[in-house]
């Protein structure tokens, strides 16, 4: 029997309308547009405003966009996997809530918590479901409402993050295209540098944890930066070596958008010129699990069938990884 590959056959996304610019941040905290631009590459980020709106609302928009573009009914979806660290609630899974809002009546769903690498983890798991031959249509969503867990008085974190959602559809093919290979890694000892202190079973929410601001992102930026630069570049290089690819064979690098300096280091290690690197951190900041599908969505019209694309990420956990995708379609 021919091997079944998992092809990405559609991309959808959603970003909120409200733009939190560096200029606005200058009025909120002790920072400057110049510091943020030179240290991170970010000009503005989108924020989901409005009562009663959570990650599932952005995920729903991305899934809707994807279903419309592919021209299929929600009933056809077998499974939805949602990568997020900002679920609507601790349980049930946000995938289930997106499924309900999108009318996915025949799909099972679950969440994956791998922070900034969440989309790559979910894409790898979703691809395995397709490759098994048992499932025909799997949606992978990467969504985060980082504004829900960011302290807007902490200048070291609030300038970095933004909100957004992206989704891809995976379908089987026997052509040599689709999600071809993946190297995923994690090291839990890195949790000390990037985590949320309270709200889990270790330290449940209390008036004390709220007063101590322990429900926000805690990050030791410089330490994370050092691990991220090495981790993302090493794993991308390893994936290229394993697949006998040189920089010339790669059409696009799709890096997690955490810091322009981390992106540049990864591209250098892969011997890729800037023109081959998808960068939209300037517009959206770090949307955690959504950065990679947001790039695919924005660059979709430029992608060609057969393009070798490397997706790469590093984030909380620590988690990191790289995935090789052979693009499956030309845009209409």
The secondary element (H helix, E strand) that includes residue 14 is: strand 5-14
For 223, 226, 267, 285, 300, the CA distances from 230, given in Å and listed in that order, are: 11, 7, 12, 21, 28
Least distance between ligand UT7 and beta carbon 39 (Å): 5
Start-end of H helices in the chain: 22-28, 33-40, 55-70, 94-102, 118-131, 155-158, 207-211, 221-242, 260-269, 281-284, 291-299
- Residue 116 annotated in active site: yes
Any bridge partners for residue 325, and if so which?
179, 309
Least distance between ligand UT7 and beta carbon 246 (Å): 27
User: Tokens 């449940």 label which residue?
Assistant: 204
- Looking at the Cβ atoms of 15 and 25, the one nearer to ligand UT7 is 25
Residue with CB nearest ligand UT7?
221
- Looking at the Cβ atoms of 182 and 266, the one nearer to ligand UT7 is 266
Question: What DSSP string runs through 261-288?
Answer: HHHHHHHHHTT--GGGB---HHHH-B-G
Least distance between ligand UT7 and beta carbon 160 (Å): 6
- Looking at the Cβ atoms of 12 and 162, the one nearer to ligand UT7 is 162
| Sheet-wide strand order for 138-145 | 5-14, 163-173, 138-145, 79-83, 108-112
Candidate list 79, 82, 116, 295, residue with the active-site label: 116
Least distance between ligand UT7 and beta carbon 266 (Å): 11
- Looking at the Cβ atoms of 7 and 254, the one nearer to ligand UT7 is 254
Question: What DSSP string runs through 171-201?
Answer: EEESSS-EEEEEEEEE-GGGGGGEEE-SSSS
- Looking at the Cβ atoms of 20 and 169, the one nearer to ligand UT7 is 20
In angstroms, the CA 145 to CA 57 distance is 10
Site residues (CB under 6 A) for ligand UT7? 31, 35-36, 39-40, 116, 155-156, 159-160, 221-222, 224-225, 228, 258-259, 262, 286, 315-316
- Residue 82 annotated in active site: no
- Residue 22 annotated in active site: no
Mapped onto helix, strand or coil, the DSSP state of residue 252 is strand
For residues 216 and 154, the answer to whether their CB atoms sit within 8 Å is yes
Task: State the burial class of residue 37 (Cβ atoms within 10 Å of its Cβ: 0-12, 13-18, 19+).
Answer: middle
- Looking at the Cβ atoms of 218 and 297, the one nearer to ligand UT7 is 218
Least distance between ligand UT7 and beta carbon 258 (Å): 3
User: CA nearest 290: which of 30, 43, 5, 94?
Assistant: 94
Candidate list 82, 256, 259, 280, residue with the active-site label: 256
Candidate list 96, 280, 286, 295, residue with the active-site label: 286
User: Tokens 């609302």 label which residue?
Assistant: 57
- Looking at the Cβ atoms of 216 and 327, the one nearer to ligand UT7 is 216
Least distance between ligand UT7 and beta carbon 117 (Å): 9
Least distance between ligand UT7 and beta carbon 155 (Å): 4
Task: State the burial class of residue 320 (Cβ atoms within 10 Å of its Cβ: 0-12, 13-18, 19+).
Answer: buried
Q: Which residues are known catalytic residues? A: 116, 256, 286
């Amino acid at each position: 029997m021919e091997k079944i590959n998992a092809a990405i056959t559609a991309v959808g996304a959603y970003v909120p309308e409200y733009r939190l610019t560096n200029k606005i941040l200058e009025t909120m905290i002790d920072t400057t547009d110049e510091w943020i631009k030179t240290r991170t590459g970010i000009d503005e980020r989108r924020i989901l405003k409005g009562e009663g709106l959570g990650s599932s609302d952005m995920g729903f928009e991305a899934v809707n966009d994807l279903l419309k573009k592919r021209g299929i009914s929600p009933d056809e979806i077998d499974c939805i996997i949602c990568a997020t660290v900002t679920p609507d609630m601790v349980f049930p899974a946000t995938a289930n809530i997106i499924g309900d809002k999108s009318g996915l009546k025949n799909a099972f769903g679950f969440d994956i918590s791998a922070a900034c690498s969440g989309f790559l983890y979910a894409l790898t798991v979703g691809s395995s479901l397709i490759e098994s031959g048992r499932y025909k249509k799997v949606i992978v969503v990467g969504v985060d409402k980082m504004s829900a867990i960011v302290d807007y008085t902490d200048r070291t974190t609030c300038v970095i993050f933004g909100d957004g959602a992206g989704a891809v559809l995976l379908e089987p093919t026997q052509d040599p295209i689709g999600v071809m290979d993946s190297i995923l890694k994690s090291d839990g000892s890195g949790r000390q540098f990037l985590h949320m202190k309270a709200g889990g079973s270790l330290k449940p929410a209390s008036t004390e944890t709220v007063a101590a601001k322990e429900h926000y992102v805690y990050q030791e930026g410089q330490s994370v930066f050092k691990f991220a630069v090495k981790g993302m570049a090493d794993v991308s290089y390893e994936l290229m070596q394993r697949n006998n690819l040189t920089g010339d064979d790669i059409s696009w690098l799709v890096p997690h958008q955490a810091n322009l300096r981390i992106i540049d280091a990864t591209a250098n290690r892969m011997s890729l010129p800037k023109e081959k690197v998808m960068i939209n951190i300037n517009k959206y900041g770090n949307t955690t699990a959504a950065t990679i599908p947001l790039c695919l969505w924005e660059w979709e019209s430029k992608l060609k069938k057969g393009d070798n694309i490397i997706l790469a990420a590093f984030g909380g956990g620590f988690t990191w990884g790289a995935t090789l995708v052979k693009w499956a379609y030309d845009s209409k």
